[in-house]
Structure 1
């Protein structure tokens, strides 16, 4: 039996809204709608959904503004799937910079939209507060503040996203390809896209401390390990 989600769709195209409503409700999910960014943002703040499906091009506030405002003002992490007809890497990066968790380019199959919404709700533990904690590491997903042993860590955007993705998956190991897909979708940078960002993450997360938390699982991928586990 699948999870029953409360999904908010902010989309100004009536036919697409109607099709999404039919598809979500057919699978047992509750759906609410807004046709413009301002009303949609207010709905999301007043009654945070399990997943927000957000169009990029909206009247009132565009999707990037809605996303950024929700991240700044909501009292919990709302997983955001951004919809757009634009498929360039720059548009995706702008969406992720604003706080989107996933990105789907129109036209799309309803089954893929549903699958991504279900995955987002599980991955981000929908409805939980913004804070993540693993051992002495704490991450505030709203402010982007990261502390270890009470010390504030300075992280650039992509290393912070890598750390947050690994923390949300903890204690699971993520493959290299899974990390790349989560970070850049189907348009990763040409050169080795993870190497330099993982180096920067290790410099901030592990170098100043006695015990490393970022582990390379050889032949598999990467994971976080708590620095407060009991040692054998």
Structure 2
């Protein structure tokens, strides 16, 4: 599921934008300053980030530039009341992918975010592979040793996330955040066993030899052994 974060200290604007994006089917996290956003970004993957430039703890342009220097690839849309050409150019030069001047129409912001999210999605290979497991993301087909498997949308989402992180431990909370929307599914909570139930079904459908391994105290890892 596509996840975005809005970093904006104006509460009314933050709420309005979040409501619009959620209505478009996106998962949305919010933060009012760079420090809060940074903590979230170290724990979660996002498909797009919306940064107000002037935040209580600094200009977001510096933060984004520093993260780009570290190899950070997530698309960024800057929001700002600063509409001078030099400001817009600086936004792009320091790592922004798009720049929207306040005041703006929320519908336009939504369209720009959708475009950036599509760009983010294309950064993932159209076909994910590990051992004899193949996932064609565009066709939504999964094959094990050439045999087509029938998966539910939730099973597909969990397997896609594990495949994208092959050989890495992925905790249950991360899978829950990326594959469920707690606002829509009332059973999707921090104490839910939904992840374990889906993984159990996936293991049965994937058959032997086992590809999804339990990482004690963490979650799961997709790997050959």
TM-score (norm 1): 0.50
Alignment-derived partner of residue 101 in structure 2: 105
Measured in 2, the distance between the counterparts of 1:5 and 1:14 equals 23
Q: Which residue of 2 is the match for residue 20 of structure 1?
A: 17
Q: Does 1:46 align with 2:39?
A: no
Q: Does 1:78 align with 2:74?
A: yes
Shift of 1:121: 1.6
1:31 equivalent to 2:18? Answer: no
Please tell me whether residue 116 in structure 1 is matched to residue 147 in structure 2. no
Could you list the runs of 4 or more consecutive aligned residues of structure 1 that deviate by over 3 angstroms after TM superposition? 124-129
Change (3 A) 1:71 1:126: farther
- Counterpart position of 1:7: 4
Displacement of 1:67 in angstroms is 1.0
Provide the aligned length of Structure 1 versus Structure 2.
125
Per-residue deviation at 1:45? 3.2
User: What stretches of structure 2 of length at least 5 have no aligned partner?
Assistant: 126-225
Partners of 1:54 and 1:33 in 2: how far apart?
A: 10
State the structure with more CA Rg.
Answer: 2
Distance change in 2, residues 1:28/1:101 (3 Å) = same
TM-score, length-scaled by structure 2: 0.52
Contact persistence 2:48–2:120 (CA under 8 A): no
